[in-house]
Amino acid sequence: MTERFAPLEHRWAIRLLLAVGQGVCRPLALERALGSIPRRTLRQRLADLTAAGWLERRAFDGYPRRVEYHLTAPARAFLTRWEALARAGVAPAVAEEVLKCKWMGAILRLLAQGPRYTGDLERHLPGISPKMLSERLKKLVRFGLVARQVVPDWPVRVRYLLTPPGHLLVQTLLAGEVIASAARTSPPRPALAG
């Protein structure tokens, strides 16, 4: 995971980007749009996303002082991919859950290369316990990102493969890393006053 992509691992980050993408750009309006987000969390997520190059903060002089947040070009490109995920039924909360868990992201990346048996996943994920792998796979199946197939061999074996929404999520996350690294190389824009 790149440094610029890391803020999306936090709860509310993707939902915050989606709200800004829909035209909600002032902090109080974002707080209302997101419902139950604590004010302190909102301020922290806005600061994290701004520092990472996903949002641009614009401060306007006057009384009272007004601040707006707008998507940067990399964030707009990233959110166009999220629209496909939304159409496939992947909720932002599910994506946030996958992003914050290092094992779920690693499992999805391995499954993007093709179906895998449990033992194969264990070999390619050093440090994961069988119990942890089982829990993460069950969660990914419950999210609808991974399908579980029983192979009628002797002995009976289980293999896992990505579903179409799972493929979309992996492609979006990988594109996000590329977009995030591009944002890191582009110079920051100065804040606008007006």
Q: Is 150 helix (H, G, I), strand (E, B) or coil?
A: strand
Q: Which two tokens stand for residue 138?
A: 């069950």
Q: Are residues 99 and 76 in the same domain?
A: no
Q: Which domain holds residue 144?
A: 92-166
User: Does residue 14 belong to any structural domain of this protein?
Assistant: yes
What distance in Å separates the CA atoms of residue 21 and residue 177, rounded to the nearest whole number? Answer: 19
pLDDT score recorded for residue 177: 61
pLDDT score recorded for residue 7: 67
Q: For the chain, report the end-to-end CA distance as a whole number of angstroms.
A: 37
Q: Are residues 84 and 180 in the same domain?
A: yes
User: Does residue 190 belong to any structural domain of this protein?
Assistant: no
pLDDT score recorded for residue 111: 93
Q: Are residues 49 and 105 in the same domain?
A: no
Closest among 104, 139, 144 to 125, alpha carbons compared? 104
- pLDDT tens track for 87-107: 888 888 888 788 778 788 889
- pLDDT tens track for 169-184: 888 877 666 544 544 4
User: Does residue 191 belong to any structural domain of this protein?
Assistant: no
User: Does residue 194 belong to any structural domain of this protein?
Assistant: no
Report the CATH number that the domain containing residue 25 is assigned in CATH. 1.10.10.10
190 has a pLDDT exceeding 60: no
DSSP 92-120: HHHHHHHHH-HHHHHHHHHHHTS-EEHHH
**What's the structural domain count of the chain?**
2
